[in-house]
Amino acid sequence: MATFNTNTLNNDGTLNQAETINNFAQDAMLNNELKSLLSELQTAIGSSQLSQKDKQQAITAVQTLAEVSKKPPEEQKNLVHSTFEYFKQLNNDLDGLPETAVKLGEAVAKIALWFGI
């Protein structure tokens, strides 16, 4: 199982894309479709105009989703609910950044469908 490094941001606030994608790719327990969706979400986060702090929190939430996906389905819904609530609130806070809000919203919606939420 891959260990996710929460220090995936460069000093300038950009996402260390190679590191995060490699973390997902190396995790044999993750479903391939979910790996792709999580990578898409991390790309949207990394290229967004979010602050460095918000990017780090969002990346941590993505990593939480990856770990939760390994749990039995009956445990997943309760565990992912708060993570999706975080992304919903983050999206609500992005009124001044509509492009970022749309990209994050679309990526999160795909992942929610994967979890059946």
Pairwise CA distance, residues 53 & 72, whole Å: 31
pLDDT over 50 (residue 37)? yes
Our count of domains for the chain comes to: 1
Q: What pTM was estimated for this model as a whole?
A: 0.73
User: Of 112, 94, 117, whose CA–CA distance to 41 is shortest?
Assistant: 112
**Any domain includes 90:** yes
Domain containing residue 21: 17-115
**Any domain includes 63:** yes
Q: Which amino acid, 57?
A: Q
**Any domain includes 103:** yes
**Any domain includes 66:** yes
Pairwise CA distance, residues 31 & 36, whole Å: 9
Chain segment 44-90, per-residue pLDDT in tens: 888 888 888 888 899 889 888 888 888 888 888 888 888 888 888 88
User: Of 10, 106, 107, 94, whose CA–CA distance to 65 is shortest?
Assistant: 107
**Any domain includes 29:** yes
